[in-house]
Chains A and B, each alone.
Chain A
Amino acid sequence: MADPTAVKTGAVSRDERARTARRLDLLGVLERAVKTVLLYPPSSPQPGEFRARLHARLTGYLEQEGAFIVQSRAGALVSGDAVLRGEAGGEESLAGTLARDGVRRVAFLPGLTDGDLAAFLEAVRAAVTGRGAGEDLAAALWLAAPKTVRWETIGELDDSAVENLEAGLRSGAGRGFGAGAGADFAAVVRAEGGGIPAGAGAGRAEKEEGGAAPASADPAAGRGAPGEPVPLEAARILGALADLSGEGEALAACRREAEAFDPEAAVGGILLELVSLEDEPEGFAESCGLADDYYDRFVERGRFAAALRLRRGLAAREAESRAASAFDRADRLDEILLRGAQAQGTARLTGALDAAGADLEAGTLLLADLPDACVPGLVDALGRLDRYPARKLVCDALAEKGARRVDDLAPGLSDKRWFVVRNTALVLGRIGGERACALLETAARHGEEAVRREAVTALARLAGPESSRILRAVLADPAPLLRLKAVRALAERADAESREAIAARVLAPAFRRLPEPEQAEWLSALARAGGDAALPAFRTLVEPRFLRDWGARRLLALRAVAALGDASGPATRAWLEELLRGRDALRRDEAERALARRRAREGGAP
């Protein structure tokens, strides 16, 4: 027989090299499948395609070579001699996940099913994506329970540790509750050596369980002496009771109750109980701290309904405490409630509202529950929100709460970000009132057209001399659209100042350079705003004293005649009828049409 030691370690046969190459290839396919699972959503076809490819390759290997064992070593994915380096050890790689979660090895067994492979990949995905929530691969694999994939975690107890622990429990060499290390558990196993003296009361345990000991309780019953005889009938009854085979409905109810558990509701409920039951100041402070912390967590995770329940519960307890003259407690609870409305609290809430898939319905209720002190925070949030639904929600809340604290919106108008100013202007427009109008003047003079537009839109909705004054100033805005918005709004108000302001603009030389549709709008506005009072301005336009630039003036005159169709009052009508008798055929036609429009508008009256 040849001396086996003669074989050199480095001398690897061709078969072994081929096997190593196959393993390396499989590791690559496995790593790619994991990456695909992490990269694409479960609904995407890619993960399924990669999994099918991996399954086919693994099945081929397993049939020929037996189990395929994978482990993580120094950031690399390893199987036998095959070592896959590169990105394999990254934070979100299989190697990294195995190492982080203490999974020493994973073995894919012959007969590997596609379902088990999918379960394995899904467990990896859950472990990586749920990292922040404390998920790990070992737990995810355990829940997935694949039958043809095995895994092994880093052992916590070797044989000697088990022996020591067990011996400690049996022999009794401990150092006291809470003091011992794993290997030096105390032990006084009643048993070997005569047991424990009878007589020490069982009553305390009964008491601790929360109820009084039953009348038949015998404190001396126990290991030191024979207990109270148990009638056979009692044993039979117990035996019969233990048979749950006919209790299908009750069992199903238990399972339903187990599934129906709502973690946030449970935690919130316990927090409220803790806040209520703590009598000691330290305990109460700790409970309040926890409630405060959990409120933030609920909000941050978008659990608005849970946050709202907690908030309302705390508010109810605050009211109870105040009613009971426990002012310190009430103030502390009030502090929590107020904190949620301050800058950080509102930033957290609005940030969560802006997340994809946020529960906006519950978020609306939570926002509504915040005190008005949240207004500055909400104004600040306007600059951070990316999604329209969240912005709309916040604007709605501001419109409701800001009405009582209009001045708190002012910082929004001086914000450097134009979109914040715009949204604030929008909110102010919805709030209305003199103070809102005054604030909107700033926005109406903003350098950004979009902001001015929002301000003008807002002002157009707000009646009153203040908004009219600002709108009159807008008539000189460089943006035609804004000028038109303003002129239309002023036309509706029909006050003398607005009429004069429009007339002044219409009669200015620059007016003739405006495009035709805009001229028509202005003239129509003047007609509507002024009625008979605007007649002098129209006469000036239609009957020019100067012949310079005659062509343009003639066209403008025709437009003015047409616009009188929107006017009202006997003087303008009379003048139109006068024009009908004029020599200018074009003017006659325009006057005819204008009168027809007036008749139609006035219900066919002559």
Chain B
Amino acid sequence: MTPDAAPAAPPVAAELVHRLYVLLKAASVYGRGNEGYRRHSEEAREVLRRAQAEEGDLRIEAREGRLFLNRRPIRFQSEASAAVRFLCEEMARRGVGVVEFAAGCAPDTLDAFAFAFQATRPRRGEGLDDLRARLRDAHASGVSVEEDVPAGEGAAAEEADAAALARRAFLRALTVVQDAMKRQRAGQPVELARARRAVHGLVDRVIADPQALFELGALRSFDAYTYAHCVNVSVYAVAIGARLGLDRARLAELGFGGLFHDLGKARLPIGLIDKPDEFDDADWRRMRRHPALGAKSLLGLKRDADRVLARAISMAFEHHLGADGSGYPRLKAPRRPDLFSRICAVADAFDALTSGRVYQKTPMGPDEALRRMALRAGSSFDAFLLRALIGAVGVFPIGTVLLLDDGELGVVWRNDPNDLLPRGSRSSPTRAAPGPPASSTSRRPTRRRAGRGARSRAWWTRSATG
């Protein structure tokens, strides 16, 4: 079981969906008395009986391309995706959000449903009333259908599957960043409305469960580094903002700024970004232009600089300025950057240090990164905001490998904000993040002498995926 997701429906749910799919297909081709149809019907009834025995009433719900049984997500093997897509699409076309089979319904209820469903003409998605009428006329009282109510966004969103929602929000933001950078390279304006929606999704997920998004921070590729980095910075920044008690509007500004803080890199030569070798001074000079270039790109958008955009401009320009005014770009009169820029600086540094990137192939362990950042608190980083970051990600952030007191290695997969000493998961050191390991343990790591180079009364950690 994933630690953060809603509990999944039992395996019989996936089987039922598959049988329903086959039965509906058969009903569209065969008549009720056809031998082939009868065989499929028998198999479907059998699965329905088993499912009802386990669950009682069966409420099958389609929402955003996913299926739920009794409000729990149904997990499928990949080959079942055709069945899921078919059911979701056909239900949506008829305006049906929920199909409910009452416990102990008559055996032929399935047949009545299958033929009524197929006979309902999906007229502009308004077939719900038609389907209801057909079921009523067929005396199929054991099955009912309900309208397709939006799952919702924002405060009214249903908490269905935290992990899936987090993944979707993360990837949506990733595509926004990717698209923005592509447009930037092509000299086209960034689509801000789309970006704002993506950020709203991220903020909702960070408020609901930041850990699910932190896990996704480990999803990185060589080529997509910059995109994923931008999303991660956005997530960390919002998490820090949430620790500070900022309201949703301010968190959205933070997230938006985080998403575009490195937009200026899209105006640097790809060869520089992808350069495998060490940077020379000329490379660094060019690279250090990216805050100014990013700010200019955002300033160049043909729209008013409202709070959201102005914050993003400020964050893009100042995110490499130290809390004491050091760093770059070199200002005429060094000054303290804006709060959000300081947050962005902390988030950016943490993600950069812990990431594998084009020009730094060996990232640091998250805990080590925090420790190093702590050494520069007050100068490069705002000490208070660094504390907020630690509070958000934990002293041993997700992905940290711990040596447990029994000599085994554990990967931190989750942090409790109220208990910053983590619960580790027993895992092979080469076991990949993201996602929780197959088995887990809740033992605390204890102080012990261990590991190569370990010092007395110390315990070592390293990153999760080494």
A contact residues vs B (CB 8 Å cutoff)? 1-7, 9, 11-13, 16, 19, 66-67, 69, 73, 80-81, 101-102, 104-107, 109, 132-134, 136, 138-139, 141-143, 145-153, 155-162, 165-166, 168-170, 172, 174-180, 182, 185-192, 194-202, 204-211, 213-214, 216-217, 219-232, 234-235, 238-239, 241-244, 247, 250-251, 254-255, 257-259, 261, 263-264, 266-267, 270-271, 273-274, 276-278, 283, 286-287, 290, 294, 297, 301
Nearest chain A CB to B206 CB, angstrom units = 14
Cβ–Cβ contact B273 & A177, under 8 A: yes
B460: A residues at CB distance < 8 A: 226-230
Nearest chain A CB to B128 CB, angstrom units = 7
Q: Provide the bound-state CA to CA distance between A165 and B231, in Å.
A: 14
Of B120, B140, B151, B457, which contacts A150 at CB under 8 A? B151
B282: A residues at CB distance < 8 A: none
Q: Give me 29 A-to-B residue pairs in the complex whose CB atoms sit less than 8 angstroms apart, sorted by A's number.
A: A1-B140, A4-B134, A4-B138, A9-B120, A9-B123, A104-B150, A138-B197, A141-B154, A143-B248, A147-B155, A150-B157, A151-B154, A159-B84, A174-B221, A176-B223, A178-B270, A188-B356, A190-B465, A197-B361, A216-B372, A223-B464, A224-B362, A229-B458, A230-B460, A238-B390, A241-B387, A244-B243, A258-B244, A274-B296
Interface residues of B toward A: which range?
A: 35 or more
Residue B211 interfacial (CB < 8 Å) = no
Cβ–Cβ contact A270 & B115, under 8 A: no
Q: Give the residue name and chain of the B residue nearest to A317 (CB).
A: B332
B150: A residues at CB distance < 8 A: 69, 104-107, 150-152
Of A73, A187, A226, A251, which contacts B124 at CB under 8 A? A73
Nearest chain A CB to B146 CB, angstrom units = 8
Of B226, B322, B331, B463, which contacts A222 at CB under 8 A? B463
Q: Provide the bound-state CA to CA distance between A67 and B338, in Å.
A: 45
Given the known inter-chain contacts A211-B376, A223-B363, A244-B387, please indicate yes or no for A156 contacting B194, CB distance below 8 A: yes
Cβ–Cβ contact B296 & A146, under 8 A: no
Cβ–Cβ contact A294 & B299, under 8 A: yes
Known contacts A191-B430, A258-B241; 5 additional CB pairs below 8 A are A3-B115, A170-B221, A232-B457, A255-B246, A266-B338
A134: B residues at CB distance < 8 A: 192-193, 303-304, 306, 309
Given the known inter-chain contacts A7-B119, A208-B352, please indicate yes or no for A176 contacting B274, CB distance below 8 A: yes
Cβ–Cβ contact A239 & B376, under 8 A: no
Of A133, A182, A276, which contacts B175 at CB under 8 A? A182
Q: Provide the bound-state CA to CA distance between A143 and B115, in Å.
A: 44
Q: Provide the bound-state CA to CA distance between A201 and B314, in Å.
A: 30
Cβ–Cβ contact B421 & A239, under 8 A: yes
A7: B residues at CB distance < 8 A: 116, 119, 130, 133-134, 137
Residue B182 interfacial (CB < 8 Å) = yes
A190: B residues at CB distance < 8 A: 220, 356, 363, 465-466
Cβ–Cβ contact B358 & A177, under 8 A: yes
Task: Find residues 143-180 in chain B having any chain A CB closer than 8 Å to their own CB.
Answer: 146-157, 167-168, 171-172, 174-175, 178-179
Given the known inter-chain contacts A224-B466, A255-B245, please indicate yes or no for A177 contacting B371, CB distance below 8 A: no
Nearest chain B CB to A260 CB, angstrom units = 9
Given the known inter-chain contacts A145-B248, A204-B278, A210-B326, please indicate yes or no for A261 contacting B311, CB distance below 8 A: yes
Of B115, B200, B223, B367, which contacts A139 at CB under 8 A? B200
Q: Provide the bound-state CA to CA distance between A3 and B195, in Å.
A: 51
B174: A residues at CB distance < 8 A: 165, 185
A294: B residues at CB distance < 8 A: 299, 305
Q: Provide the bound-state CA to CA distance between A226 and B148, in Å.
A: 52
Given the known inter-chain contacts A180-B224, A258-B340, please indicate yes or no for A3 contacting B138, CB distance below 8 A: yes
Cβ–Cβ contact B306 & A271, under 8 A: no
Q: Provide the bound-state CA to CA distance between A311 and B375, in Å.
A: 41
Residue B2 interfacial (CB < 8 Å) = no
Cβ–Cβ contact B219 & A170, under 8 A: yes
Q: Provide the bound-state CA to CA distance between A208 and B262, in Å.
A: 12
B115: A residues at CB distance < 8 A: 3-5
Q: Give the residue name and chain of the A residue nearest to B403 (CB).
A: A226
Residue B50 interfacial (CB < 8 Å) = no
A158: B residues at CB distance < 8 A: 65
B356: A residues at CB distance < 8 A: 188, 190, 196, 223
Pairs A-B, 6 closest by C-beta atoms: A191-B432, A186-B223, A210-B327, A223-B466, A263-B310, A174-B223
Nearest chain A CB to B354 CB, angstrom units = 9
Nearest chain B CB to A572 CB, angstrom units = 73
Cβ–Cβ contact B137 & A152, under 8 A: no
Residue B181 interfacial (CB < 8 Å) = yes
Of B226, B300, B332, which contacts A273 at CB under 8 A? B332
A142: B residues at CB distance < 8 A: 153-154, 197, 200, 248, 252
Given the known inter-chain contacts A230-B460, A235-B367, please indicate yes or no for A178 contacting B181, CB distance below 8 A: yes
Cβ–Cβ contact A4 & B135, under 8 A: yes
Cβ–Cβ contact B459 & A229, under 8 A: yes
The stretch that binds A, out of B7-15, B16-24, B445-453, is B445-453
Residue-by-residue, is B391-418 near A (CB-CB < 8 Å gives 1, otherwise 0)? 1001110000000000000000000000
Q: Provide the bound-state CA to CA distance between A222 and B329, in Å.
A: 29
